[in-house]
Amino acid sequence: MKCMLIFSFMLSGFVCAEPAVGVFAYLPYYPNFSINKPPKAIEMLFFTKSKLKQPITLSFFRTVDRETFDPACCIEVVDLNQVAVNELLKKYAADTDFIDLIKGIKGYQFVYRAQVFGVGGNKTQKLLLINGASQFAMPAVEMQIKTDMIMHNPLVSSPVSVKLVANFKKGNIWREFYSFTVGGVKNDFSVPLQTGG
């Protein structure tokens, strides 16, 4: 999240862009169900509603309860070229779990490749990324949260408030629903129910 110092005859101070929110997907590629072998490739993708204008750093969150989360820090988006989902579906067609997860992510307009930010990372990130073999999709927010402590809302209180609510059922539909409220504006995403991660 970037803040810009502005000056004018009527106003001076800092204007802060709203932090990007969306879904981070970790996608090891196991063609033809070769889960007992190392993945042939790994895609890390950030799905969001807003077009990114500059590189960003994000934390992503494993859901503990409806408004309680285990933060993982950090990933970054450096390459601002958008990823063509149709090309991914063709390239990784031999892994049906990979394909089903990508097809099941809803609410986004833009997709970007992500990568692990810097060195280290907190315990949750190491568990999920370094030792993880499972595909997963989790909510992500543009911020660096290096704590290993469980977090509650608001995830960010200043300069722009960010709240996140997770639900696993709406009506008769069982999915993972992530509802962000950023500066009072809602951003909704959903992903298939998952057992990994």
Percent of the chain having pLDDT more than 70? 87
Calculate the average pLDDT of the chain.
87
Please report the pLDDT score of residue 1 as a whole number. Answer: 53
How many residues in total does the chain contain? 197
Give the model confidence (pLDDT) of 109-145 as tens digits: 999 999 998 766 788 888 887 655 689 999 999 999 8
C-alpha 66 chain-centroid distance? 17
Give me the phi and psi of 149, to 5 degrees please.
-90, 150
Which of 55-59, 100-104, 105-109, 117-121 is least confident?
Answer: 117-121
**For residues 8-29, average pLDDT:** 72
Q: What is the 3-state secondary structure (H, E, C) of 132-170?
A: CCCCEEEEEECCCCCCCCCEECCCECCCCCEEEEEEEEE
Please report the pLDDT score of residue 11 as a whole number. Answer: 39
pLDDT category of residue 197 using cuts at 50, 70 and 90? low
Which of 26-40, 70-84, 105-119 is least confident?
Answer: 26-40
CB 4 within 8 A of CB 14: yes
Please report the pLDDT score of residue 29 as a whole number. Answer: 93
pLDDT category of residue 169 using cuts at 50, 70 and 90? confident
Q: Is the pLDDT of residue 89 over 80?
A: yes
Q: Which residue has the higher pLDDT, 87 or 38?
A: 87
According to DSSP, the β-strands at 173-182 and 185-191 are antiparallel
Taking alpha carbons only, the member of 116, 159, 176, 124 closest to residue 19 is 159
Please report the pLDDT score of residue 146 as a whole number. Answer: 84
**From CA 25, how far away is CA 1, in angstroms rounded?**
21
Please report the pLDDT score of residue 159 as a whole number. Answer: 80
Please report the pLDDT score of residue 185 as a whole number. Answer: 92
Q: What is the pTM of this model?
A: 0.88
Q: Is the pLDDT of residue 24 over 90?
A: yes
